[in-house]
């Protein structure tokens, strides 16, 4: 899955208007999220519709509460491992919201400026699928190769950068298994 002009080869492209230029061009953080629409339900096109401003607020009572949101992520990894890309990596996707990241000795804000956002189709309580971990590890390997400022210690969850506001990808995400899967891909 090489990266060409900011797009991941093999990912299905669904371009989102919810992005803009990165102020400095920096890519140095990988931020993991979880999403399910409606909450707790997987599959369907609701996430794609949200990220492309086409979500029908009358299709489900929850959707009325998020009508008007202008959000996106770079990638969505579905339960079956399918990868959908909304924003090229060199552009700023709108996924982190109000967040803070401690980078060495300094605290940074405006994380969208330098983070790549990956949404995992899921919620904080349902176990993620093996196919998702495999796809995430393969994508992460490509990102680490393409962006030298990105390193394994610069991979975190939304809960770690917005702890009072967010809890994703949640306790159901197995960080140890993800890192083990990532290491296996690096071993010749």
- Tell me if residue 119 is catalytic: yes
* Closest to 27 (Cα-Cα) out of 50, 11, 10, 3: 3
Q: Tell me the chain's radius of gyration from C-alpha atoms.
A: 16
Classify 32 as helix, strand or coil.
strand
* Active-site pick, 82, 119, 121, 124: 119
Q: Are 76 and 35 in contact (CB under 8 A)?
A: yes
Q: What does the DSSP 8-state code read for residue 109? A: -
Q: Are 6 and 147 in contact (CB under 8 A)?
A: no
Rounded to whole angstroms, the Cα distance separating 81 from 155 reads 19
Query: Which of the residues are catalytic?
Result: 119
């Amino acid at each position: 899955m090489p990266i060409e002009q900011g797009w991941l080869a093999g990912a299905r492209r669904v371009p989102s208007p919810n992005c803009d230029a990165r102020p400095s061009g920096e890519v140095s953080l990988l931020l993991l999220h979880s999403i399910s629409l409606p909450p707790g339900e997987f599959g369907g096109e609701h996430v794609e519709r949200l990220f492309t401003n086409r979500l029908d607020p009358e299709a489900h009572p929850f959707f009325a509460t998020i009508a008007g949101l202008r959000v996106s992520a770079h990638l969505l990894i579905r339960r079956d491992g399918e990868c959908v890309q909304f924003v090229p990596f060199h552009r700023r996707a709108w996924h982190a919201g109000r967040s803070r990241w401690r980078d060495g000795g300094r605290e940074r804000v405006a994380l969208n400026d330098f983070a790549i956002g990956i949404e995992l189709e899921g919620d904080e309580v349902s176990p993620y699928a093996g196919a998702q971990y495999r796809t995430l590890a393969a994508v992460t390997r490509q990102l680490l190769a393409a962006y030298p400022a990105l390193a394994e210690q610069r991979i975190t969850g939304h809960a770690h950068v917005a702890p009072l506001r967010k809890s994703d990808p949640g306790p159901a995400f197995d960080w140890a298994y993800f890192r083990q899967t990532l290491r296996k891909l690096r071993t010749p």
